[in-house]
Amino acid sequence: MSDLALHSLLFVLNPISGDVDKTDLEATIRRYCQERGRTASFFHTSGSDDLVALRKHLAEHSFDAVFAAGGDGTVSLVAEALSGTSTPLGIIPLGSGNGLSKDLVIPQEVEPALRLTWDYELRTVDTLQVAGMFSAHLADLGFNALIVERFDQGDARGPAAYVRIATQEYVAYEPATYHIETDLETWEGPAFMLTIANASTFGSNVIINPDGELDDGQFEICLIEPFPNSAAPGLLYRLYTNGFDASDYTRRLCCRWARISVPGQTQVLLQVDGEPHHVATPVEVEINPSSLRVLVPATGAPR
């Protein structure tokens, strides 16, 4: 356990994230914290100016840690509010993907994740700026960004809905051509999807960036180039078994800064930490080293 004492805790709740029943969530958190001598306060997101409201709340109150209880969007919101401060982020994963929490090996059930309120280690990680937006985990252009937008527009939640949408969109999808400049190299060519990875794994458990680290001072641009339909099963298998680099249709660019453009397009669809955005090109990306403190399971703690 860290020397940092956690007594006053804020839990940021998104009432509509994922497909998790939150009817008794506040009572569960409050009871769990009271039993261990912690004080739990709550902040509910509304979907309107949440970052401004949360920053104002944090400026007016003092907390030893702030827990994001929701999906990837809620986690990114709280991470952005805490980035550059000494207050650590905790995560109670309640979304459809929960990508960052999985990369940090945080338990995916509520009560095991709440163990972080008293049994934890502190880890300092990097974050990203992508097209002027904060990112704590993964961003991408291309096929997955399209699926995230379709998923966001629909009513259904959960992995089954995501797979159904991906299957529907795959048939007619046309890869774009990208021009990428980084601090180390330049690359241009067509890509099925392009992932800007500060970590390694999507919430769907696809390993897009093998050996990716959250605290190495760099990020990776992970490219899946166009592939024939016959290669799709093998490629998908590699993505789920840490074999990204073994495919003939994949490559990774390591960098600290990048500019990504799509020749002939002035705007592009970009997903950042699970949220879709239409942004102007070129898309500029840079690393913010050691900018966020997070609570992770203590060595030897149950996972």
First to last CA, the chain: 15
Residue 168 has pLDDT above 90, yes or no: no
DSSP 150-178: HHHHSS--SHHHHHHHHHHHHTT--PEEE
- Say if CB 113 and CB 91 are below 8 A apart: yes
pLDDT of 98 reads 86
Task: Tell me the whole-structure pTM to 2 decimals.
Answer: 0.88
* Mean pLDDT to the nearest integer, 1-30: 77
Q: What are the pLDDT digits (tens) for 267-292? A: 999 999 888 999 999 999 999 999 99
The sheet with strand 275-280 has its strands ordered as 250-255, 219-224, 193-197, 138-142, 267-272, 275-280
pLDDT of 1 reads 45
Q: pLDDT category, 150, cuts 50, 70, 90?
A: confident
**Separation of alpha carbons 213 and 220, rounded Å:** 10
**Separation of alpha carbons 181 and 4, rounded Å:** 41
- Say if CB 182 and CB 204 are below 8 A apart: no
In the chain, CATH 2.60.200.40 covers 133-290
Q: What are the pLDDT digits (tens) for 114-133? A: 999 999 999 999 999 999 99
Strand residues in 25-155 grouped as ranges (E): 39-44, 65-70, 89-93, 121-130, 133-135, 138-142
**What is the topology classification, in CATH, of domain 8-125+291-296?**
Rossmann fold (3.40.50)
Inter-CA distances, 292 with 33, 40, 87, 103, 125, Å? 24, 22, 9, 15, 5
Q: What are the pLDDT digits (tens) for 35-66? A: 999 999 999 998 889 999 999 999 999 999 99
Q: What are the pLDDT digits (tens) for 202-248? A: 878 889 999 899 999 999 999 999 999 899 899 989 999 889 999 99
* Mean pLDDT to the nearest integer, 74-78: 94
In the chain, CATH 3.40.50.10330 covers 8-125+291-296
Mean residue pLDDT across the chain: 90
Q: Which CATH architecture has domain 133-290?
A: Sandwich (2.60)
Looking up tokens 């459809």, which residue turns up?
96
